[in-house]
Structure 1
Amino acid sequence: MRRALAAGGAVVLLVVVSLLVVDRRPEAAPVPSVRRVLVVSVPELSWEELRSSDAPALGALVEQAAIGQVSTRVGRRGAAPAEAYLTMGAGTRAVVPADDAGVALDADERRGGVPVDELVARRSGEGPSAIAYLPVGATAEANEHSAFGARIGRLGDLLDAAGVGRAVIANADAAEGFPPDLAPPPSAYGRSAATMLMGADGQVPAGTVGRHLLVDDPSAAFGRRLDPAEVLRSFDAVWAGEGPSVVLVEASDLARATAYARRATPQQADRLRAEAVRSSDELVGELLDRVDPATDAVLVVTPTSASTLGVVALQAPGVEPGLLRSASTRRDGYVSLADAMATVVDLVGLDPPDDIEGRPFEVASAGGDRVARLEQQAEAAGVRDRRLPWVVAAITLGLGLLVLGVARADRLPSGLRRALRPIALAAIGVVPGTFVAAGVPAARTHVAAFVAVVALVAVAVAAASLAAERRVPAIAPMVAVASVVVLTAVDVVLGAPLQVNATFGYSMAVAGRFTGLGNLAFALFSTAAVALAVLAHDRWGSRALPATVALLVAVVVVDGAPVLGADVGGVVATVPAFVLVVLALREVRIGWVHVLGALGAGAAVVVAFGLLDAALPAGSQTHLARFGADAAGGRFGSVATTLWRRAEASFGSGGTILAIGAVGLVVAAVAQARLARSERLAQLRTRGWASADVALAYGVAVLALLGTVANDSSIAVPATMLIVLVPVLVLRRLPA
């Protein structure tokens, strides 16, 4: 049996490692460079709305363009307008200071009675350009200290350095009752579009965001709408230049209609929205008539969306109709706001910076009804997000009843007492059931189908586990836990199709990740791996160690390899946890030296994966490449900053992290001092089953601690681990 286990583990490891030398990503065509780029912003537009609206110009563009969904999420929520445009201009997720109100002004406007050119000269020491974003100093400071570290104005500075012109034509001011010849109230400014193409000084050299872009219309949202004649006049002035240029035009009637929906009746809100789509489509049609398809590119993008998934379309010379993707998403049909900056830079023939999150758009071939496919994916993402809370509640209730049943087993009828073990096995089977359900079209959107698929898989896992036990005694828990490990590993190797919009996968609307392993799946996968190692030791003792080591190494590769899981936080947690698990199973007395060594091993593996990623073609590299390059180049400050920002994303602030760390060290020191003298710890370090208990305790504790710190899902990681851990603890207590 030991040889069989070792051989099996070696085969699994060999297969997984062999995958690392092959880039499994489907071929995608790069986007050729052009002379001019027109960026059209269509706030709050979804594919469903576009299909059902009267929008012939946008519809015709979509037929000829490469299209996709753009994630409009920044951090834990959908981006506000300023965050969205700042992100598109920085190439990295950006934040805004608390006092930001989207205040960008033309040079001839006034702010608080003071001329803008005077304000700009006083604040920057430079003469004014056409447009000035006034909160540039506070915004730069906020991003310098944010979890993402965006450098605002990056796109504008790069275009300037290359001699590429830039201009913005936008005004989404939204307030009722103020005269058109007076400045609107501070909360009414909606000119954040300027931040996409501004430089680090907060200025845009051409274009306009002035009030003259709006015209009074009592039937429009807030009583004002864009004046298409004025917009086109301003556009013609900047588009007619000889040299290369990038021009952003915002269809701001869409933004005003969305903002006004809360004030109107539902029926009136729908009418205002439909009219905004119609007028915006007419404007887009006029703009497209001025574009030369042979030399110009058109990028239509939704910067903000209530669902956090918006429309994106790219039409450019040599770009065939297909689905957009990028190296940052690695998923056909999906890009992020941060990718917009890299794409614009790439379109004008420049190299995107290596230190930004975004990557240029690529085009993957796709047949059939592409818009319908994107609509269905967006619907599935919304259903998943609404479904997650009640699924977690149902699982929590079920596990609570299971634990209660085991605790009061002596009071249960004999039949129900015998059923506890199959129920615990089925509880583990719920996990693969949720992922299988993500691959069944009906189960993605219909509750009854979802419950049926999950229940069927859970029962099948329990039945298969008990059937295996008829041949090999006490193996049922291993089979059940192995179903989690094997299904997750195979799914990741195949490109993670079952992770997409799965209950414990990643929602494409949340969009912290588009491929590989998400944080919740990591929690289940890694916990199941630790449990499987412990259960194997329960069954075969030290004879299972070779296979256990092979299993854990394979799990690390699946979780962290750049072409597979690409999970930095996962590797930071799994490697130290697995090292301590193996040491405990070998009955080594674990001390601080071992713990520090395990942490060092985790760091080394992350660097190794990063260097492996850096060796891939530039278009295929992930965030791991930058992390590995920083570590290999001795830029440990950048490495520490990356990990610190992940921790900040989980806990909210650096002060909270330090407080938790200090308390944790005190608790650990006290516990170590007390346990070192206790007979119980001595017993746990003896041979036999006790070493498995120690291994399970170390493995779960380290996974929970580092998984919480190194990922950005906070308490969700250890909470999700319990879904596997609780049934395993129950099964280890119940007799076979």
Structure 2
Amino acid sequence: MLEGRDLPNLQKVFDSGATASLSTRSATAYSSLENGYATLGAGNRANAGSLGAAAFNRSEEVDNSTACQTYHRRTGWACDGDILQLGIVDAVVSNELELYDAEVGTLGSALRDAGLHVAVFGNADGPVLTDESRRDVADQPAFEPGPLDTELPTEQAQAPTVKLGRSVAFAAMNRRGIVERGTVSEKSLLVDDPRFPYGVRMSNAKTMERIQPQLADLSYLVVEASDLERVDRAKRLATVEQNDELIGLALANADELLGQLIAMAPLEENLYMVVSPAPPRGIGGLTVFAMAGPGVESGLAVSATTRRAGYVELTGVAPTVLAELGVEVPDDVTGRRITATGRPWTIEGFIRANEKGIVGEQLRKPAFLAFVAAFAVLLVSAAAYFYRRPSSKAFTFAAVWSLYLPASMFLVVLLPFASWTTGVNLVVMGSIALVLALLTWPLRRFGRLWCLGAA
């Protein structure tokens, strides 16, 4: 997406700071921007729920009320902030049903408890709200499925007429779903522009006009490149060539906004992070992370979670922000701080890492199903066979082959695979397991060493 484009301000962050491929895994099996932002703000793998994009400025009209009235009606809490996440109850309940015990809004609460000020600016609505659609949009599903999203709950698989795009609030809200400052209103941030999807784009002038008066006492500022989300949502309506053109327009607009922010708050005095919370719809894989500022050495980034230079996780953003601001990291944050290694990086290395991530993501489910199916057939056949005969080399070999299937899945991504389909990858995976089983088979003559070799 970034290769070959003239993006001087983004390039400045990449060149002067620490960069890595970013794993955006959340609490669910599918990737979405909503879950990505929820994970970022929780410092743990989180679920945004089915209303994750339903954030509004307190005075916006929604659900035949103001957003503040709707929020109070749903929660009973005071509206003590500019932005309110109207789906906060659904998000909390959704995470109670998950395995990770994530607390959405942990980052925002920690900063607020420390007396620090935060703000969010972004709106990825598309199509934008009208007076008619605004009445009931707060109850629409937040997630619009991509081509590979086949396991969505029924309520999330329904693509709404108007797609809210305000999940960026998760990145700075507290545990009650409140962001102290900022705006996610389309009227405050967007302007008409027929070149962009849905005929609107993020206005850098409007955005900076909102940010500038508050910047002096802000400790944590989140600004979303919202045009990129609209481009990704509309890509199924555009040709491949035109989609690439739209990506270029959105990136150029985002790069210009970043340049204006750097001019107002210099890199030499402030820590900047470039974070992509979710991969493009229907593709999967890794995204990009970069941070630059005082004390950040140029090169690859790493965290104690991944322990691999050039690879970090989305859960590491929250502890990195808290550490930078001198705030104690809460116990329910499972991510670890991201740091710089000083080791050089190349764009080719990141492209290769992303390709591996895409193939691994696409292969994970079919490989698991193939392993379970093969093992089930083996067990049933073995039971039927051993009922008549106590031992069999054929079944012993088949059992060893099945044990190598999980390991062979990880070996597939080390091979040249760019043009391979999932079916071909499965065949290769089975073949690798077969080769490993054949190599191990002669060890059976050494008695117990045979068991060690097979393991």
Please say if residues 143 and 150 of structure 1, whose CA atoms lie closer than 8 Å, have aligned partners that are also in contact: yes
2:413 is the counterpart of 1:461: no
When residues 442 and 121 of structure 1 are mapped into structure 2, their CA distance, relative to the original with a 3 A threshold, is closer
Paired position in structure 2 for 1:126: 78
2:59 is the counterpart of 1:108: yes
Residue pairs, 1:520-539, within 5 angstroms: none
Question: What do residues 660-704 of structure 1 show as CA deviations (whole Å, max 9, x unaligned)?
Answer: xxxxxxxxxxxxxxxxxxxxxxxxxxxxxxxxxxxxxxxxxxxxx
Paired position in structure 1 for 2:360: 384
Residue pairs, 1:440-459, within 5 angstroms: 441-442=415-416, 454-459=433-438
Paired position in structure 2 for 1:334: 311
Question: What do residues 68-87 of structure 1 show as CA deviations (whole Å, max 9, x unaligned)?
Answer: 12222223423433322222
* Structure whose CA Rg is larger: 1
Counterpart Cα distance in 1 of 2:373 and 2:77: 60
Counterpart Cα distance in 2 of 1:351 and 1:358: 13
Give the AA of the match of 1:312: F
Please say if residues 156 and 197 of structure 1, whose CA atoms lie closer than 8 Å, have aligned partners that are also in contact: yes
**Offset of 1:224 from its aligned partner?**
1.0
**Offset of 1:56 from its aligned partner?**
3.0
Please say if residues 384 and 444 of structure 1, whose CA atoms lie closer than 8 Å, have aligned partners that are also in contact: no
**Offset of 1:438 from its aligned partner?**
5.7
- Aligned match for 1:205, one of 180, 188, 207: 180
- Matched residue SS, 1:282: helix
Identity in percent? 27
Paired position in structure 1 for 2:105: 153
- Aligned match for 2:325, one of 321, 345, 348: 348
Paired position in structure 2 for 1:303: 277
Residue pairs, 1:62-73, within 5 angstroms: 62-73=14-25
Counterpart Cα distance in 1 of 2:199 and 2:452: 62
2:235 is the counterpart of 1:235: no
When residues 147 and 436 of structure 1 are mapped into structure 2, their CA distance, relative to the original with a 3 A threshold, is closer
Give the AA of the match of 2:440: V
Paired position in structure 2 for 1:501: none
When residues 141 and 438 of structure 1 are mapped into structure 2, their CA distance, relative to the original with a 3 A threshold, is closer
**Offset of 1:260 from its aligned partner?**
0.8
Runs (5+) with no aligned partner, structure 2: 138-161
Query: How many aligned residue pairs are there?
Result: 416
Counterpart Cα distance in 2 of 1:56 and 1:201: 38
Counterpart Cα distance in 1 of 2:190 and 2:295: 36
Runs (5+) with no aligned partner, structure 1: 1-48, 410-416, 486-736
2:44 is the counterpart of 1:92: yes
Question: What do residues 464-512 of structure 1 show as CA deviations (whole Å, max 9, x unaligned)?
Answer: 426xx2xx5xx2xx44432243xxxxxxxxxxxxxxxxxxxxxxxxxxx
Residue pairs, 1:364-375, within 5 angstroms: 364-369=341-346, 371-375=347-351
Give the AA of the match of 1:333: G
Counterpart Cα distance in 2 of 1:304 and 1:431: 29
Provide TM-score, normalisation by structure 2.
Answer: 0.78
When residues 420 and 131 of structure 1 are mapped into structure 2, their CA distance, relative to the original with a 3 A threshold, is closer
Please say if residues 173 and 188 of structure 1, whose CA atoms lie closer than 8 Å, have aligned partners that are also in contact: yes
When residues 80 and 405 of structure 1 are mapped into structure 2, their CA distance, relative to the original with a 3 A threshold, is closer
Paired position in structure 1 for 2:118: 166
- Matched residue SS, 1:215: strand
Paired position in structure 1 for 2:235: 261
When residues 172 and 385 of structure 1 are mapped into structure 2, their CA distance, relative to the original with a 3 A threshold, is closer
Counterpart Cα distance in 1 of 2:112 and 2:241: 47
Counterpart Cα distance in 2 of 1:73 and 1:394: 23
Question: What do residues 233-284 of structure 1 show as CA deviations (whole Å, max 9, x unaligned)?
Answer: 1222222x1x451000000000000111123334333332232222222222
- Matched residue SS, 1:288: helix
When residues 230 and 262 of structure 1 are mapped into structure 2, their CA distance, relative to the original with a 3 A threshold, is same
Counterpart Cα distance in 2 of 1:349 and 1:120: 32
Please say if residues 89 and 197 of structure 1, whose CA atoms lie closer than 8 Å, have aligned partners that are also in contact: yes
2:350 is the counterpart of 1:363: no
**Offset of 1:340 from its aligned partner?**
1.5
Please say if residues 87 and 338 of structure 1, whose CA atoms lie closer than 8 Å, have aligned partners that are also in contact: yes
Give the AA of the match of 1:74: S
2:141 is the counterpart of 1:190: no
Give the AA of the match of 1:221: P
Counterpart Cα distance in 1 of 2:54 and 2:43: 21
**Offset of 1:298 from its aligned partner?**
0.4
Provide TM-score, normalisation by structure 1.
Answer: 0.50
Paired position in structure 1 for 2:141: none
Residue pairs, 1:309-708, within 5 angstroms: 309-369=286-346, 371-387=347-363, 389=366, 393=370, 420=394, 423-424=397-398, 427=401, 430=404, 434=408, 437=411, 441-442=415-416, 454-462=433-441, 464-465=442-443, 469=445, 472=446, 475=447, 478-485=448-455
Please say if residues 285 and 356 of structure 2, whose CA atoms lie closer than 8 Å, have aligned partners that are also in contact: no
Counterpart Cα distance in 2 of 1:445 and 1:188: 33
- Matched residue SS, 2:290: strand
Question: Which has a greater percent of helix?
Answer: 1
Counterpart Cα distance in 1 of 2:379 and 2:72: 69
Counterpart Cα distance in 2 of 1:193 and 1:452: 45
When residues 180 and 335 of structure 1 are mapped into structure 2, their CA distance, relative to the original with a 3 A threshold, is farther
Please say if residues 97 and 142 of structure 1, whose CA atoms lie closer than 8 Å, have aligned partners that are also in contact: yes
User: Which stretch of the first structure deviates more once superposed, 136-145 or 165-174?
Assistant: 136-145
Counterpart Cα distance in 1 of 2:62 and 2:410: 58
Question: Which structure is higher in RCO with an 8 Å CA cutoff and minimum separation 6?
Answer: 2
**Offset of 1:430 from its aligned partner?**
4.4
Please say if residues 168 and 207 of structure 1, whose CA atoms lie closer than 8 Å, have aligned partners that are also in contact: yes
